[in-house]
Structure 1
Amino acid sequence: MEHADYVYTTGMDDADLEERLRTGDHGVLALADGDDAYAVPLSYHYDGERFLLRVSDHGDAEKRQYLETTDTATFVCYDTTGDESWSIHIRGPVRQSDRDIDEGTLNEWFPPFHLFDEAVEDVEFVLYELEPAAVTGRETVD
C-alpha cells in the first residue's frame, strides 16, 4: 500500500465537541461482557450536563446483560459529508437513569424510534446515563 489515500485530522476543541454533541442525536454504544463485545446503535440526548441514552426494552435479554456487565462503555457518534468528517468517543460508566421522564419529553429529546419486527405496544424505553469520564473528538483538517 504505497499510495493509500488519506486525510489529515486534528483534535476538536471544547466548543466544537459541545456543539456536535448538542446537535447530534444518534451513535453506537459499545459494551462488553468479559471477552465478548456487543455494539448497538442508539439515540441520545445531551444537554451540556447529562448524556442520556434511550434503550428499547422488548425482551432483548442480550442487550440488558451487556448493559449490566459493562464497567466502562464507549459511545461513538460521527458524521461524514464529502471530504469533511468528524467523530467523538465518550468513555465512562453507563447506568440506568433514575430520572422520571414523561413521554412528551422523550419525544422532544429523541428522534422517532425505528421499529423492526416489534409491535408498538411491546416496546418500552429505559433511560441510561453515560457518565463521560473521557471525551475525545477528531475532525478533518481543511
Structure 2
Amino acid sequence: MSDDAVRSVLETNDHGVLSMAAGNRGYGVPMSYGFDEADGRLIVGFVNPPESKKRRFAGETEEVTLTVYDWEDVDSWVSVIATGTIRRLDGADVTGRVLPLFFRREDEETGDDRLVDLDESEREWYELDIDDLSGRSSE
C-alpha cells in the first residue's frame, strides 16, 4: 500500500489492537485511538484502575504495535500496523490539540466536525510515537 493509503486507513478508523510486551509475555488489547498525522503519533486513552495490566505493560514494553483493520469479505479487506514506542502524556502534554483528536466526530446531519461529550471515566493518555507504518490490502 502507498503511504497515503496507509495514513488514510488510520484517519478513517478509530479502533485497533494495541500489543505490548513485558519480559517474555505479550499483551494485546482492543483500543480506541486518535491519529495525529502532523506529529506522527497515535493517541490512546487507558480507562482503568492504577494497578491495571495495561499500565504495567505500557511501562515495561520497549516496542508497541497498533493493528488497525477493516474486513468486509475475503476479497475486500485492509490492515495497517503502526510500530513504535509508547509514553504516558503528562497533564501539560494533554493540550487542546490531543482531546479533539480523540473525541472529534462528524455530525451526520451537517457534516461538520464536533466534539462528543466525554464520559464519566477518567483516562490516562498515552502517545504512540510511530517509527514504522506498513499496510496490506486485498487489492
TM bucket normalised to smaller: 0.7 to 0.9
Instruction: Compute the displacement of 1:112 (Å).
Output: 8.3
The one-letter amino acid paired with 2:79 is S
Q: 1:58 and 2:52 equivalent?
A: no
Instruction: Compute the displacement of 1:61 (Å).
Output: 2.1
Q: Residues 94 and 125 of structure 2 are in contact (CA less than 8 Å); yes or no, is this contact kept in structure 1? A: no
Q: Residues 58 and 124 of structure 1 are in contact (CA less than 8 Å); yes or no, is this contact kept in structure 2? A: no
- Which structure has more strand as a fraction of its residues? 2
Name segments (4+ residues, structure 1) moved above 6 Å: 109-113
TM-score, length-normalised on structure 1? 0.75
Unaligned runs of 5+ in 2: 106-114
Distance change (3 Å), C-alpha of 1:111 and 1:93: farther
Match of 1:107 in 2: 103
Q: Percent identity?
A: 29
How large is the Cα RMSD of the aligned pairs?
Answer: 2.5
SS of residue paired to 1:124: coil
Work out which of the two has the higher radius of gyration on C-alpha atoms and give 1 or 2: 1
Instruction: State the Cα deviation string for residues 17-42 of structure 1 (Å, max 9, x = none).
Output: 11111111000000111111111111
Provide the rounded CA distance (Å) in 2 between the counterparts of 1:133 and 1:104. 22
Match of 1:131 in 2: 129
